[in-house]
């Protein structure tokens, strides 16, 4: 009888998604991989029905404490798509600015507090801080600058309350933005050091074979690195308007997960997130970011998911450049928002959350009440790819001792910064004996 | 002395909202004279909020053998941390780890009084359990007494 081993991680996270990991493998290879999300369904799409369309950004912001702006952005764009409402360029710029703040907050938290300890051999950021206090302090300083942006534009840094369909409830006066400039510029210097530091980390070698290459999916905009707008494109030729999303992407239920798995109807698993954005849009990063990437020898196409930490750091730096550019060119809008007559309609939109493409669709009636809602978050889109990463990686790492193998599996999940694995340093893994099977 | 009162927890998740409720009561009494900070789950922000200050931190906990509404007061800089059970969104740290991180980075407050209030229902959308809600007033009074003892003037108001 073949020697069979089972990797079980009972509790992957305490947050937006609660999940576990199960891997069964033997000398012949990996037999089963399941990323189990067991958090009960949260029914956001259901309980939004009957609510006013203006409430959508504030309700959906509550889905995530780390990327509420992403939910707000997809919600307002979808509602504006339904109502054919087009905010002026000044408001568009402010939306991009608050998104910069969220990218900085979210990415830096992941880089420093969650992912970096994996590479340096620490069980947590706290343990890492004892040996590398300067590194962690720098991370907190960078994040603080992102917080300041979100606080100014959103009213507070967690679950902001100032975003509305058509614009904002209040827009800042130019001096308020200028007051942030020095803090952002100082944090940008630290962000540049972060890029050099992440690029120096020891990365496990992992490249998929030609037959298993990722299909990267992201927004793409002709003139800017994508955040709020663009077509949905992929490395295998997909090029669609967000309004066509549901014709090309399908959600499937799997018995072991409460989160739907999203697949490309034509080809199956795909990857969204920083690597997808970067691989499809790297030429639209700021000139200074491109120069730095070139200086450190980081390629314009990255296929090793363990290097996603470098891509995140490049996106942080770009967010600072973009934020400073917007602040320098800011003109206060005449009105904080635009509005229009409500009518029965349907609208959809996709924006780039820190973790990847976030799709929203809403139907509203003549009174502006929501009649239907659909939300496809990035983590659900990446689930299948995370599982296939583990399936493909494990044969390369089976020689590792048990603890290292467990850590490598968790690290592979953290490459995606999924909400479900946000606290995976608390994981326990154990090998257990299956019926009649010999376990180590 | 530079004081701040920090609540941890989410108003919309049952007993997790006890910290924000205590803050509401303190705001009623002291108004803008007292810096009240509602932290919804970003523990790294604590390191900024409590830097070089005296703070009271109010949080909900689940402790075996304790009843809902029980209040445990700790010296956050000296006592061993309680095992808290958080239900709010976060990506990594809890209060005990934030303290440990602050210690590693030399970023602890000058004084930290922790008020841990035992809760039992943390369901999304649930109201505070009656015994937990009742504890809010006791905690607010205790914090107010501490402030008056420690600072005298600015917090000696005639408000009830």
Residue found under tokens 């061993």? B80
Dist CA A112 CA A108 (whole Å): 6
Per mean pLDDT, which range of A208-222, A356-370, B56-70, B89-103 is the poorest? B89-103
In this prediction, residue B21 carries a pLDDT of 97
The total of other beta-carbon atoms located within 10 Å of residue B111's CB is 17
pLDDT confidence band for A401 (50 / 70 / 90): confident
H runs (alpha helix) in A66-216: 68-83, 89-108, 116-120, 125-131, 133-154, 174-199
Closest in A15, A114, A130 to B89, CB measured: A15
Contact A416, A117 (CB under 8 A): no
Q: Do B89 and A125 touch (CB under 8 A)?
A: no
Q: Do A129 and B44 touch (CB under 8 A)?
A: no
Report CA torsion sign: A259, A264, A265, A266.
negative
In this prediction, residue A42 carries a pLDDT of 67
Domain B3-155 has CATH 1.10.3720.10: no
Closest in B42, B48, B91 to A422, CB measured: B91
**pLDDT, mean of residues A68-91:** 96
| DSSP state, residue A275 | H
Contact A69, A352 (CB under 8 A): no
ipTM attached to this prediction: 0.78
Nearest in space to A191 (alpha carbons), one of A285, A117, A281: A285
The angle that helices A174-199 and A133-154 make with each other, rounded to 10 degrees, is: 150
Q: Rounded to a whole number, what is the distance in Å from the CA of A141 to chain B's nearest CA? A: 9
pLDDT confidence band for A421 (50 / 70 / 90): very low
Dist CA A101 CA A245 (whole Å): 27
Tokens linked to B123 = 């369901």
Whether A433 has a pLDDT exceeding 60, the answer reads no
pLDDT confidence band for B84 (50 / 70 / 90): low
Helix (H) or strand (E) holding B29: helix B18-30
Give the list of residues 6+ apart from residue A351 with CB closer than 8 angstroms, or none. A70, A73, A74, A77, A99, A219, A227, A228, A229, A357, A358
The domains found in chain A, sorted by start residue, are: 42-394 (1.10.645.10)
- Which residue did the predictor score with more confidence, A300 or B48? A300
Closest in A42, A126, A147 to B100, CB measured: A126
Check the annotation: does A110 bind a ligand.
Answer: no
Dist CA A331 CA A210 (whole Å): 49
Contact A217, A273 (CB under 8 A): no
Cross-strand partners of A164 = A167
pLDDT confidence band for B119 (50 / 70 / 90): very high
Indicate the pairing of strand A4-9 with strand A429-430.
Answer: antiparallel
Tokens linked to A233 = 């494109």
**In terms of CA atoms, which chain B residue is nearest residue A15?**
B89
Per mean pLDDT, which range of A199-203, A223-227, B81-85 is the poorest? B81-85
Assign residue A136 a region (left: φ > 0; alpha: ψ between -120 and 50; beta: otherwise).
Answer: alpha
**pLDDT, mean of residues A306-311:** 97
Whether A279 has a pLDDT exceeding 50, the answer reads yes
| DSSP state, residue B85 | -
């Amino acid at each position: 009888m073949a020697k069979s081993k089972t990797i079980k991680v009972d509790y992957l996270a305490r947050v937006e998604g609660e999940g576990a990991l199960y891997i069964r493998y033997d000398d012949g290879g990996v037999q089963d991989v399941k990323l189990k999300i067991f958090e009960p369904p949260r029914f956001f799409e259901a309980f939004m029905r009957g609510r006013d369309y203006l409430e959508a950004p504030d309700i959906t912001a509550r889905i995530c404490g780390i990327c509420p702006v992403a939910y707000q952005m997809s919600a307002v764009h979808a509602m504006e798509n339904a109502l054919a409402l087009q905010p002026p360029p000044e408001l568009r710029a402010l939306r991009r600015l608050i998104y910069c703040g969220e990218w900085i907050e979210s990415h830096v938290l992941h880089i420093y507090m969650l992912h970096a300890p994996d590479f340096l051999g620490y069980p947590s950021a706290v343990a890492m801080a004892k040996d590398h206090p300067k590194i962690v302090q720098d991370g907190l300083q960078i994040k603080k600058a992102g917080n300041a942006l979100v606080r100014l534009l959103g009213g507070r840094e967690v679950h902001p309350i100032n975003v509305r369909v058509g614009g904002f409830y209040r827009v800042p006066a130019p001096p308020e933005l200028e007051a942030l400039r020095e803090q952002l510029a100082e944090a940008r210097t630290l962000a540049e050091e972060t890029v050099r530091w992440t690029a120096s980390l020891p990365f496990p070698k992992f490249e998929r074979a030609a037959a298993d290459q990722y299909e990267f999916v992201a927004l793409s905009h002709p003139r800017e690195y994508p955040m709020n707008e663009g077509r949905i494109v992929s490395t295998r030729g997909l090029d669609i308007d967000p309004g066509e999303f549901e014709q090309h992407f399908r959600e499937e239920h799997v018995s072991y997960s409460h989160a739907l798995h999203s697949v490309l109807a034509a080809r199956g698993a795909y990857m969204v997130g920083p690597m997808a954005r970067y691989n499809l849009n790297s030429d639209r990063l700021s000139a200074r970011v491109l120069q730095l990437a070139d200086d450190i020898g980081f390629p314009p196409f990255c296929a090793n998911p363990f290097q996603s930490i470098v891509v995140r750091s490049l996106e942080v730096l770009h967010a600072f450049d973009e934020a400073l550019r917007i602040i320098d060119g800011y003109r206060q809008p005449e009105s904080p928002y635009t509005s229009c007559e409500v009518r029965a309609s349907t609208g959809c939109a996709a924006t780039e959350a820190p973790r990847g493409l976030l799709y929203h669709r809403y139907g509203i009636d003549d009174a502006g009440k929501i009649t239907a809602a659909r939300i496809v978050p990035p983590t659900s889109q990446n689930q299948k790819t995370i599982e296939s990463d583990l399936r493909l990686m494990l044969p390369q790492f089976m020689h590792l001792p048990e603890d290292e193998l467990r850590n490598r599996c968790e690290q592979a999940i953290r490459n995606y910064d999924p909400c479900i694995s946000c606290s995976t340093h608390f994981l326990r893994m154990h090998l257990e004996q299956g019926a009649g099977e010999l376990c180590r | 002395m530079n004081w701040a009162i920090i609540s941890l927890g989410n108003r919309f998740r049952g007993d997790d909202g006890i910290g924000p409720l205590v803050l509401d009561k303190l705001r009623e009494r002291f108004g803008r004279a007292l810096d009240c900070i509602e932290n919804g789950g970003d523990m790294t922000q604590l390191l900024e909020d409590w830097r070089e200050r005296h703070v009271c931190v109010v949080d909900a906990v689940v402790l075996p053998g304790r009843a809902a509404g029980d209040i445990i007061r700790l010296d956050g800089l000296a006592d061993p941390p309680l095992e808290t059970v958080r239900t709010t969104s976060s990506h990594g740290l809890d209060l005990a780890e934030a303290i440990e991180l602050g210690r590693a980075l030399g970023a602890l407050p000058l004084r930290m009084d922790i008020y841990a209030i035992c809760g039992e229902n943390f369901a999304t959308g649930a109201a505070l359990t009656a015994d937990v809600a009742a504890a809010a007033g006791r905690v607010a009074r205790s914090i107010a007494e501490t402030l008056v003892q420690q600072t005298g003037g600015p917090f000696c108001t005639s408000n009830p």
